[in-house]
């Protein structure tokens, strides 16, 4: 229990908001999709967040939602073009270590860690590798 509290406090200290993000794609995602929604609403039902992101990015990206990081092969999603992948519960048990392994891959361009869930953005052009920890 103490470890979870320490980990959350550590996350809060290291995390940033939309003003510290340098990527226009990530800034748009934060300001137009995530921060406009009620946090409790989309944490309860992540499909609402998926629909919001899909609505904003339908011409640029394919949007996928993964409930369990172990159930899907994330690398398979990444190789299929420009994608945004929403992954629920990245801080549960061994899932965080698997999350760190996935975002360490050079194929993944941008990762967003929101503590409760994660988002992976892969675009074939004009995107440098960045890993963000962002508070809600």
Q: List pLDDT tens digits, range 84-135.
A: 888 888 887 778 888 888 888 877 888 888 888 888 888 777 778 888 888 8
Maximum mean pLDDT: which of 2-16, 60-74, 121-135: 121-135
pTM: 0.85
Where b means 16+ CB within 10 Å and e means fewer, 35-44 reads eeeeeeebbe
Rounded Cα distance between 4 and 62, Å, is: 33
* C-alpha to C-alpha distance for 70 and 40, rounded to whole angstroms: 25
* Phi-psi label, residue 83: left if phi above 0, alpha if psi -120 to 50, beta otherwise: beta
> Angle CA(41)–CA(43)–CA(47) in degrees, nearest 5?
80
Q: What does each C-alpha distance from 119 to 3, 5, 57 come to in angstroms?
A: 24, 23, 14
Domain ranges of the chain: 2-133
Residues 73, 1: Cα–Cα separation, whole Å = 30
pLDDT at position 13, please?
79
Q: Which residues contact 106 (CB under 8 A, 6 or more apart)?
A: 129
Strand pairing report for 117-122 and 83-88: antiparallel
């Amino acid at each position: 229990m103490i470890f979870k509290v320490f980990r959350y406090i550590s996350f809060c200290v290291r995390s940033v908001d939309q003003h510290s993000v340098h990527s226009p794609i990530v800034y748009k995602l934060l300001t137009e999709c995530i921060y406009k929604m009620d946090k409790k609403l989309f944490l309860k039902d992540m499909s609402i967040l998926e629909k919001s992101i899909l609505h904003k990015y339908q011409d640029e990206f394919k949007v996928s939602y993964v409930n369990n990081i172990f159930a899907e092969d994330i690398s398979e999603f990444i190789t299929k073009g420009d994608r945004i992948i929403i992954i629920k519960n990245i801080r549960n048990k061994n899932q965080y270590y698997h999350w760190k392994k996935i975002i360490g891959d050079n194929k993944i361009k941008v990762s967003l860690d929101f503590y409760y869930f994660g988002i992976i953005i892969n675009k074939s052009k004009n995107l440098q590798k960045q890993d963000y920890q962002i508070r809600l």
